[in-house]
Amino acid sequence: MEVAQFGDTEIEVSGLKSHVEKLKKWQNGKEKCSMEEEFDKLNLVLEDRKSYSVGDGEENRSKNRSDVVIPFDRNRVMLTPIPGREHSTYINASFIEVSRHCE
C-alpha cells in the first residue's frame, strides 16, 4: 500500500542517518520540515477498523474456533453456496498474500 501511494521509500541502513538529518532540515517557504511532512503521511495510510460482521453474525459464530479470531469481510474466503442451505458460504478463513523477494 505504501509503494502504491508514495513510491519506493526504502532506505539503505548505511544511509539512514544522513536521510534523517536531511528530513529534519527546513526548506525555504515551507511551514513544516520534511520529517513533519513524512509523519503527516502516516494518517493517509492508516486504515479504518475493518468489518468482520459476517463471521461475527449469530448464524456463523458456531463455525469459529474462537471469538477473537474472525476473518475480515473484505478478505474472507467464501465457499460456493449450497442450494437450499442458508449461510453456507462462510468458513473461518482469510486469503493471504505471499510475496517473494528474489535477487
User: What digits encode the pLDDT tens for the residues 46-93?
Assistant: 555 678 899 999 999 999 999 899 999 988 999 999 999 999 999 999
- The answer to whether residue 27 is domain-embedded is yes
Residue predicted with more confidence, 97 or 96? 96
Instruction: Residue 71: count other Cβ atoms within 10 Å of its Cβ.
Output: 20
Q: What is the mean pLDDT of residues 88-103?
A: 80
- In this structure, the answer to whether residues 64 and 29 fall within a common structural domain is no
- Residue 37 structural domain: 2-45
- In this structure, the answer to whether residues 61 and 37 fall within a common structural domain is no
- In this structure, the answer to whether residues 6 and 29 fall within a common structural domain is yes
- In this structure, the answer to whether residues 35 and 63 fall within a common structural domain is no
- In this structure, the answer to whether residues 6 and 41 fall within a common structural domain is yes
Please tell me the predicted confidence (pLDDT) of residue 100. 61
- In this structure, the answer to whether residues 19 and 36 fall within a common structural domain is yes
- The answer to whether residue 89 is domain-embedded is yes
Nearest in space to 61 (alpha carbons), one of 24, 97, 87, 23: 87
Give me the number of domains the chain comprises.
2
Residue 103 confidence (pLDDT) above 60: no
Of 45, 61, 80, which one is at a domain's C-terminal end?
A: 45
- The answer to whether residue 33 is domain-embedded is yes
Tens-place pLDDT, residues 3-51: 777 778 888 999 999 999 998 988 888 888 888 988 888 777 655 567 8
Cα–Cα dist 88/54, whole Å: 12
Tell me the H-state helices in 7-94: 16-24, 34-45, 53-56
- The answer to whether residue 68 is domain-embedded is yes
